[in-house]
Amino acid sequence: MEKRYKIGEFGKLVGLTTPTLRYYESEGLIVSQRDDNGNRYYTDQDVKWLGFLLHLKGTGMSLNDIKRYVQLRAQGDGTIPQRRDLLERVREDSLVEIREREANLKVLNHKIDWYAGKLDKTIDENEDFETYLKRFQ
Amino acid sequence: MEKRYKIGEFGKLVGLTTPTLRYYESEGLIVSQRDDNGNRYYTDQDVKWLGFLLHLKGTGMSLNDIKRYVQLRAQGDGTIPQRRDLLERVREDSLVEIREREANLKVLNHKIDWYAGKLDKTIDENEDFETYLKRFQ
DNA sequence: TTAACACTTAAAGTCCACTTTAAGGCAAGC
DNA sequence: GCTTGCCTTAAAGTGGACTTTAAGTGTTAA
């Protein structure tokens, strides 16, 4: 038979709190079934979906876009092109963000190096960071 | 003489709205001087600082941590080690985040490929995404 | 049998980073 | 002189993603 996970157990499995899971359900990101006591339960299918959802979320995709994705999925295989397009847009945004972060991180690294140079006096006392930065442009 | 920028001009220069600049000032992230009419003005020094602030922010550093940095800077060169430590922590966090994003993006890319395979029938109809993903592990 | 613990709902609260609103002051140009 | 457009302040509102609170029901273990 299929394994049924109660919300607490499921939460531990996927790394979310029970209020968060109920919140996700209220937002239409996940669904649950009910047992004879009216309590939610989840199956391995739900574990898989939530796993993927967290990957989507981890790329920076908003809950709102994830919801749109869920709605398309519910409409069957005919919406595969739209889902692919949606994910391609998310990929582009995510790539842009990663590249921006990397660029900003580069400047931060130079600042850390600049502090090191100031501390061990390998950078002239009078050279300010902006001048120092220009060396790398 | 040094150029004085009024808040609107300064905002355009650095790409922030005037309410945001006032908000940053109220949060202790930037300072401004006042002219004879009591209006704020900024100098090229402020342009430089805001430029660097935006790089810090762009790494994911919170306004609160930027404020701590500002406070350390105000205490003079003696706090250079603390500032460097703070920035090193920010760098570490930022690197971790970038790597996580990249990992999640990888899964997203596989999903897009999987959709392509479904659409052009190079992936078997019955193979689900989780099984497909295992090919790359 | 009673305490502990899991579950239920709806609604309000939180945090961050702004943005918007409201009400007004001052200077330049027509 | 009046309109336009900049500036001022304080306070309230917004959006996203939860988290917390309140009030209650049901199951399990000692």
CB B59 within 8 A of CB B101: no
Q: Model confidence at A22, in pLDDT bands (50, 70, 90)? A: very high
Match 């500032």 to its residue by tokens. B83
Q: Do B91 and A102 touch (CB under 8 A)?
A: no
CB B101 within 8 A of CB A59: yes
Quote the pLDDT of residue B127: 92
In chain A, positions 48-67 with C-beta closer than 7 Å to nucleic chain C are: none
Residues forming beta bridges with residue B41, ordered by sequence position: B6, B33
Residue A19: nearest nucleotide (C-alpha to C1'): D19
Q: Do A108 and B55 touch (CB under 8 A)?
A: yes
**Nearest residue of B to residue A57 by CA position?**
B104
Interface confidence, given as ipTM, is: 0.92
Determine the 3-state secondary structure of B4 from DSSP.
Answer: coil
Evaluate if residue A84 carries a pLDDT over 90. yes
Quote the pLDDT of residue A2: 85
Which domains, and CATH codes, for chain A?
A: 1-58 (1.10.1660.10)
The 3-state secondary structure of A12-55, one letter per residue: HHHCCCHHHHHHHHHCCCCCCEECCCCCEEECHHHHHHHHHHHH
Residue B136 phi, psi (nearest 5): -100, 5
In chain B, positions 65-124 with C-beta closer than 7 Å to nucleic chain C are: none
- Using alpha carbons, select from A94, A70, A64, A92 the residue that is nearest to residue A83: A70
Q: What is the pLDDT of residues B96-119, one digit of tens each?
A: 999 999 999 999 999 999 999 998
B9-B14-B19 Cα angle (round to 5): 70
CA–C1' B122–C19 (A): 50
- Nearest-by-Cβ selection for A55 from B87, B108, B116: B108
CB B46 within 8 A of CB B10: yes
